[in-house]
Chain A
């Protein structure tokens, strides 16, 4: 870990308690976000990306609960780090984290927008809650922000209702709302998945500009590896509630270490020639109530070895000579050019953790 970390998630566990039993949606996730960088969380549906991001803002509601770990936030004003996971539900500290320091763009724009209020009402409200300005000033700030996110005719649009806008425009309104308080950290949960590629490009550019112009740090959640390649500095790949590989973006996409990451990349169409069979991953993602023993990927892994991969605890994340980390016991056999250079500072690595 370099010392310019803005967010350090350590061994986060968020479980849901349902009729089917305990669901370990996030089960020991350790990642850190560097100041002014974009960290991508990737993985297939249900692997725990959204639950991780909701946990950061303490938005987990029953039957879910953060049952372990730390979420350390290092504000830029140099004051003491805050453990968000430990804050009291009603504390001022949590209120200011949510209202100003960390903002979130939700997966579905309509969940963040009220259908019965105008755009002005909604953005101004966010401003007035946290900044000492008049409603007229708040309106001016809101218009300015709509312009920045590329909404044409912002003066006119500001008095419209969400249903009068296209999906791409609504998503930009949500982004404007998230940015209006000038957050230090932006959590963007699949912000472009529902959009056309041409509009997606505009939004990705906006986020990149934010990082370079304001030094905002971003947690970017997506399952689209192309988007990852274009926006991320660092990447954490999740599988069944755990991080199985992390590295910088080139490491993960160009020289992946973990067989799951390798298989994902190979199963993408467009690499081999047209019409050829795609090297699909066998089987499907197992249920969280029924996680395979040993390495949870072993039933689908082309490199699995009986007696090593299917027994014991899940493999620890280990750090390798190319700078990447992967949770696989066979990394150095599969990639003879790398060797282990020691354990990460991941507390999961300590033996005998469950």
Chain B
């Protein structure tokens, strides 16, 4: 289990114990984090799982793939330097304590 924290657009924080091996979108969805949709079930085809990742994890996460880069161009809320698709973030010890912010809109 890995601790992950979601902060919604109004600043409300929810911390979950997420299952290792899942991705961050799946963890959020299962627990009913409202700001994440995950319409394409993680196939990198919908960009409705957009999050803003806080440091220090932003730097230590594996780089975005070309596909993720492309989808991030199409997010409903503005793309920022720390934009990621949560379906592409694997849960495991290396992201323990990660904090991500949810956009206004997916």
Do these two chains interact?
no
